[in-house]
Amino acid sequence: MSGKKITGRTKQLSLKATPKFHQRLKELATKERCLMIEVLEQAMELYERKRTIKENIQPISRNKITKSNKRSRDNEQEEQNTNPKKRKISG
């Protein structure tokens, strides 16, 4: 036997990367005692989870404000604009 792992991976994948990225990937795989492809597979899983979470948590659009929310917001703005102290106008 040649000492290579049997991984079950049969599809060839060819990528171009910067030397810096390649070195970082290689060092991480060595540190984790796994294959570089395993690091990339785990990274892809985390990326997909992050995307799923982002898609499920959608921010409320300003265009979708309900009438009750709009009235509440308008009342807050009126309260902020109203000054309880009256200013004397000298003339």
Q: What is the reported pLDDT for 29?
A: 97
Q: Of 40 and 87, which is predicted with more confidence? A: 40
What is residue 64's predicted lDDT score, i.e. its pLDDT? 59
Helix/strand/coil for 45? helix
pLDDT on residue 24 = 98
DSSP state letter for 9: -
- As a whole number of angstroms, the distance between CA 9 and CA 11 comes to 6
Q: 27 or 82: which carries more pLDDT confidence?
A: 27
Q: pTM value?
A: 0.56
Q: What is the pLDDT of residues 62-84, one digit of tens each?
A: 665 555 555 666 666 665 565 55
